[in-house]
Amino acid sequence: MEYELLGWPPDGPKLRLDYERFSYAGKFVMTNTGKAVARSADGEIVAAVAFNEDRTDADTLWLRYVTVDRDRRGEGIGPPLCREVRDRARKRGYERLRIAVNNPFAYEALYRAGFAYTGETTGIAELILEYPTPDDDTDWDDRERYQAGLEEFRDRDLSDDETAFLDTRRDNEPPDRETRDE
């Protein structure tokens, strides 16, 4: 897999993705977000992430949309792509990265990329994760922080796949996380 950063906000490139293969495909044609992609050995885009600076905190970069080709989901492509953006953003001077996730699969993938639950949600009930691990006033250890986010999802109307996924993680430690800036 090859990872490529295509541009930084606010002057990111347009990226046209096939809406039948990629969720959020229309969001990637905006030019005010930075973009990064994962390419297969033959050069085909198999995942993409769009990101922009926080409107009120220039030290924070938000990952806005992460998408993986529908036929390639579950192969572990998203976490390394997010790590690539994370590490490049830190080298560029961003102190923290944030993302709001709307399902337990994305939550797990971002945990694998080194992000951790902040205890916050957005107005549309997305859970906010942050890198590095938030320095907040909770007394959560890593397991408690991870489980608190999973519990947020358990209280929702979920698909059978999401429910089964959450059941396999009940009382687990968080997944192995790649937290080092390269």
Q: Is the pLDDT of residue 105 over 70?
A: yes
The predicted model gives 126-138 an average pLDDT of 89
Cα dihedral angle (78, 156, 132, 143), rounded to 10 degrees?
-110
Which pLDDT score, from 0 to 100, does residue 176 have? 87
Contact, 128 vs 120, CB < 8 A?
Answer: yes
pLDDT of residue 67: 97
pTM of the model: 0.93
Domain boundaries, the chain: 1-94, 104-172
Beta-ladder partners of 66:
49
Domain 1-94 class in CATH: alpha beta
Q: Are 121 and 128 in contact (CB under 8 A)?
A: yes
The pLDDT value recorded for residue 179 is 62
